[in-house]
Amino acid sequence: MLRRLSIRNVVLIDKLDLDFHDGLSVLTGETGAGKSILLDSLGLALGARADSGLVRHGCDKCSVSATFVLPQGHPVYRLLSGQDIDLEGEELVVRRVVTADGRSRAYVNDQAVSVGLLRDVGDYCVEIQGQFDQHGLLDPTTHRSTLDAHGDLGSMALAVRDHWRAWRETQKELNTARARIDKAREEEEWLRHAVDELEKLGPEEGEEERLAEERQFLMHGEKLVAALNDASGELSRGKGAESALRGAQRCLERELEKADGRFEPIIEALDRAAIELEEANRSISATLADLNVDTGHQENVEERLFALRAAARKYNVPVDGLNALMKDFRSQIDQLEFGEKELSRLTAAVAQYRSAFVEAAEKLHAARKEAAAKLDTAINAELPPLRMEKASFVTDIAKTDENEWGSEGIDRIQFTVATNPGSPPGALNKIASGGELSRFLLALKVVLARVSAVPSLVFDEVDSGVGGATAAAIGERLHLLAKERQILVITHSPQVAARGRTHFYIAKRETEGTMVTRVDALVDGARREEIARMLAGHSVTAEARAAADSLLEQPR
């Protein structure tokens, strides 16, 4: 529960330290004294939106810290443990600092944290409820979670969310696959035509370069043939170069023995030359045989080369990329057959996940109906003590059409009330008046407090618009609720204020030429005087003091 609230330089508050106890604490004071500033300060420490306007004039920053004492096993321990923040003992200190330029910093036990984490911590520690809080009874979007919390249906609701997520994600996957297959089907005829065309063309890696070189060679073929023939003619002119070399070799060989070894190198050189000349003649003959200078062959080479290049331009790829493109087109065609199987698998999976969601949602619906009956009974039992004997509270649960299903299930849930017998139940904000809404809210909080893990509840003028016996009844219910939770109430009702175990008085005072808000803990005579003022106004009478004494005699 909240043990201490320390505020520095927030609007009209320069320095304030408040110590709270368990049970019911009441805060009273004149209108405009600064009660809302206290709530804004507490909200700031719990992660509410920071505003530079909260910084006291002339100061560079403001800060608020709140100290809580929480029992072991409280959910906030698990939350902080997941962020590597360990609590020492049972004390938790949250702090928020806001600078004059609107920047803010958040801390948990002096360790810097995100504002989001601070807000999560705050949600586990304190619930602040105003008379027309749009995140409370008036907002139907909260009714489902409120009912689930009361019925302890969290695990069932989580199962429904898991089934919903699996269903919708698989449905999305199916839609994507179907769109891909549909697009492939539209292109199938073109793909098959392209594959057929490329298969007939039969492109090979490196073919363009080879054909281009051959074409270049063939373009000069006649000149090359003439050159080879001329070379052959020169080598065979007269008796021929080879015949001359062999003749010279024979002349020397006849006198070899007489030359005393001097002819041997010459003979060997002539022999080598003859062999090389013979090889040259064979190469000339072979080249002439291989060199196809037929005009038809050149045309075939050029036609093939131009066909490859035309296909490359058509499909916007290099010539060497045609083969890979053909394989890719084949793969896309194959994917059509595989895609059909994938569509069948996903369609079956969607049906399976939808069935699992519907089954879990139906079970949750039945459990919600049962929990709603118990909630209605409990809240309606709280209404007579709050002077609403003729009113009734009804949790309306209706199954929705499939297009309205969601991760929370198949139910539309709304809290409705009827304030007069025979009148049909209606939405809270359309049926209940301000005072009636306050009491419905209080009845709901009394019931929910039995299952909530939040140790501290703050009510801002829950008694607004009521007085007399009704205000006394509200004070009684707050007194009972404070036996289970720490309750802080800002009130203008003396009947409620008299029930408080602790009483704080909020007032504005002028100090050194500037207005500041002060909060004093009232006891004994001072408290009696404040309640008398609330009864009588500024002119406190003996009768008002006597009435205050009567109120203070009630259990606190």
Rounded Cα distance, 425 and 398, in Å: 14
pLDDT tens track for 263-307: 888 878 888 888 888 888 888 777 777 665 665 677 888 888 898
Rounded Cα distance, 203 and 459, in Å: 83
Rounded Cα distance, 487 and 552, in Å: 18
Q: How many CA atoms lie within 13 A of 46 on its CB side?
A: 18
Rounded Cα distance, 146 and 223, in Å: 99
Rounded Cα distance, 137 and 487, in Å: 19
Q: Is 38 helix (H, G, I), strand (E, B) or coil?
A: helix
Rounded Cα distance, 556 and 553, in Å: 9
Q: How many CA atoms lie within 13 A of 506 on its CB side?
A: 24
Regarding pTM above 0.85, the answer is no
If we measure between CA atoms, which residue out of 150, 189, 173, 198 comes closest to residue 452?
150
Q: Is 515 helix (H, G, I), strand (E, B) or coil?
A: strand
Both tokens assigned to 342:
């994938």
Rounded Cα distance, 426 and 435, in Å: 16
Q: To 10 degrees, the CA torsion angle through 163, 168, 174, 178? A: 160
Q: Which residues contact 110 (CB under 8 A, 6 or more apart)?
A: 93, 95
Q: Which residue has the tokens 């999560």?
A: 120
The amino acid occupying position 486 is Q
Cβ proximity of 29 and 35 under 8 Å: yes
pLDDT of residue 239: 66
pLDDT tens track for 342-385: 888 999 999 999 999 999 999 999 999 999 999 999 999 988 88
Q: Is 508 helix (H, G, I), strand (E, B) or coil?
A: strand
Distances (CA, A) of 309 to 72, 194, 203, 319: 79, 15, 10, 6
Partners of 10 in beta bridges: 13, 55
Per-10-residue mean pLDDT of the chain, 556 residues long, equals 92 90 90 80 89 88 92 84 76 92 90 91 82 56 86 92 96 89 79 88 86 75 71 71 77 75 82 83 76 68 87 90 88 76 91 96 96 94 86 92 94 90 80 72 79 82 74 86 88 90 89 83 90 84 86 79
Neighbour count for residue 261 (Cβ, 10 Å): 8
pLDDT of residue 135: 44
Q: Which residues contact 418 (CB under 8 A, 6 or more apart)?
A: 391, 392, 394, 424, 425, 426, 431
Q: Is 456 helix (H, G, I), strand (E, B) or coil?
A: strand
Rounded Cα distance, 22 and 256, in Å: 136
Q: Maximum Cα–Cα distance for the chain, whole Å?
A: 168
φ/ψ (deg, to 5) at 60: -90, -15
If we measure between CA atoms, which residue out of 379, 374, 410 comes closest to residue 156?
410
Q: Is 26 helix (H, G, I), strand (E, B) or coil?
A: strand
If we measure between CA atoms, which residue out of 115, 86, 83, 110 comes closest to residue 98?
115
Rounded Cα distance, 474 and 472, in Å: 5
Cβ proximity of 173 and 165 under 8 Å: no
Cβ proximity of 228 and 280 under 8 Å: no
C-alpha 414, offset from chain centre: 28
